Amino acid sequence: MLGYWLIESGEKERLMELLRERLIECGWRDEMKALCRSFTKKKGRENVTVDDLVQVITPKGRASVPDSVKAELLQRIRSFLASAAL
């Protein structure tokens, strides 16, 4: 139900854009690029698939999202829910 409300209101897209901006600002995106390049260099470009990268990088990426970014998104979702309840 929440997902439906977020999509219908356009809030999901606004949250995704905020997330993109914050991750770029804090250097997370560059860190993930560096991890991908390092993995690709180690394994050899021809020996790496997108699925390989996703499998290796996803856990590291999720774990390294700053708590401040998570907290900001959570607050925005709570605010959205509070305003939707009115």
| In contact, 36 and 53? CB cutoff 8 Å | yes
> pTM of the prediction?
0.83
Closest CA to 74 of 8, 32, 22: 22
Q: What is the pLDDT of residues 6-35, one digit of tens each?
A: 899 999 999 999 999 999 999 999 999 999
Residue with structure tokens 């990268």?
A: 53
User: H helices then E strands: how many in the chain?
Assistant: 5, 0
Residue 54 tokens, joined? 């996703």
> What would the pLDDT profile of 25-70 be if each residue is shown by its tens digit?
999 999 999 999 999 999 999 999 999 999 999 999 999 999 999 9
